[in-house]
Structure 1
C-alpha cells in the first residue's frame, strides 16, 4: 500500500487574502464543536494548526473552514508569512510534541512515521500542492518538527477543484484521518458528515455544490 502523507494537497481556509481585511490574523471560529451535556467537548490537549497560504483565504472551495467550524477551540488557522513565522509555534516546535503532516521521499521516512502518539499539535499546510511545497521549502522551522504520514482507508472524495494529485487528501480529510487515528471517532464522524455536505454530490454538475 502506498504510504500517503497528508496535509498538503488541498487548499482550505477562510478569512482575507494578503492585504485584505483581516490579513495576517487568525480567523474567528464559531463555537460549534461537539457538545455533551451543554459543555463543548474538544480533543483533550490536542490542537490542529492550519498554516494557510494567503490565496486560500476567501476561497469557497477551501475545507479548512470546516475544521475550524467543527473543532472550535481545538483548531486554529494562521496565515503563512515567510518573513514572520508565528513565534509561539516556532517555540512549541523546538520544545517537541508537534508534528508536521507533510509528504517526503519514501526512503527518508522513519519506521514510526505513522505513529501519532505523544503529539499535542498537528500542523497541516493549507493550500494547493504547489503552494504547500513552497511554504515547506521556505520555512526552515517546519523541518524541525516531527513529520508524520497517514495511510487513508480510501481515495479522496474532494471534488471541488480540478487537477488534484492522486493519493492525496484535502485538509478536512487529513484531519478526519488524524482524529480516527487518535480515537476521536465522534469528532471525525461529525467532520466527515459536514465535509460530505460541503462537496458536490456524485454526478452533480460543477457549481452545484458547497453546501452550507
Structure 2
C-alpha cells in the first residue's frame, strides 16, 4: 500500500503541516509528491490512467465519491496536502485528478486539529485522513503511532 501526499509547495515551509509527521513514521507507506500544475507527476498520472489509484476527496467538495468499501480495492491512495483553499486549487487545475475515482471518508468526528483556522465542518487535516485510511486498510499499529505523534504535535 502507498499513500501519496500531493503537496502544495507552500506546505513544505509551514510548521503546521501535518503530512510531514506521517512521512517518517509510516514504514515508507506515505510518500510526498510536490504538485506542479504544468508538469504533473508521471507516476500518479499513470496510476490514475490504469485505475490503480483513488483520490481521497472532501465530502463537501466531491461530486462523485465512491463508497467506503471500495477503498479496500486500491493499493494507491492520493491525498491532496495543502490548505483547503490550496487543495481546491490543486484539484481544479489538475485535469488528471478529475479522472481519478474519488473516495470520501465517512466519519462522524470533527477534526481535532487546532493549529490552523478556517477548517470546514467535517473536514479533517492531512494526518487525520492518513490515520483513517490506515485503519481502514488494517494498518492499525502505524495508525496508532501516527495518532500519538499527532496528539503531541497538536498539543
Q: TM-score, normalised by structure 2?
A: 0.92
Deviation at 1:65, TM superposition (A): 0.6
**Structure 2 spans left out of the alignment, 5+ residues:** none
Deviation at 1:93, TM superposition (A): 1.1
Structure 2 vs 1, CA of residues 105 and 176 (structure 1 numbering), >3 Å: closer, same or farther? closer
Deviation at 1:132, TM superposition (A): 0.4
Give the equivalent residue in structure 1 for 2:67.
113
Give the equivalent residue in structure 2 for 1:181.
136
State the SS of the aligned residue for 2:25.
Answer: helix
For residues 89 and 97 of structure 1, the distance between their equivalents in structure 2, rounded to whole angstroms, comes to 9
Structure 2 vs 1, CA of residues 83 and 109 (structure 1 numbering), >3 Å: closer, same or farther? closer
For residues 44 and 26 of structure 2, the distance between their equivalents in structure 1, rounded to whole angstroms, comes to 19
Larger Rg: 1
State the SS of the aligned residue for 2:26.
Answer: helix
Give the equivalent residue in structure 1 for 2:3.
48
Matches within 5 A, 1:6-45: none
- Residue deviations 1:133-178 (CA, integer Å, cap 9, x gap): 0100100001111100101242111001122211100000001111
**Coordinate RMSD, CA, aligned:** 1.7
Which protein is richer in helix relative to its size? 2
| Residue number among 157, 168, 176 corresponding to 2:123 in the alignment | 168
Give the equivalent residue in structure 2 for 1:122.
77
Structure 1 runs of 4+ with >2 Å offset: 103-110
Give the equivalent residue in structure 2 for 1:98.
53
**Structure 1 spans left out of the alignment, 5+ residues:** 1-45, 201-212
Aligned length: 154
Q: TM-score, normalised by structure 1?
A: 0.68
For residues 177 and 107 of structure 1, the distance between their equivalents in structure 2, rounded to whole angstroms, comes to 18
Deviation at 1:179, TM superposition (A): 0.9
- Residue deviations 1:13-38 (CA, integer Å, cap 9, x gap): xxxxxxxxxxxxxxxxxxxxxxxxxx
- Residue deviations 1:27-79 (CA, integer Å, cap 9, x gap): xxxxxxxxxxxxxxxxxxx0010011111112111000111021142111111
State the SS of the aligned residue for 1:51.
Answer: strand
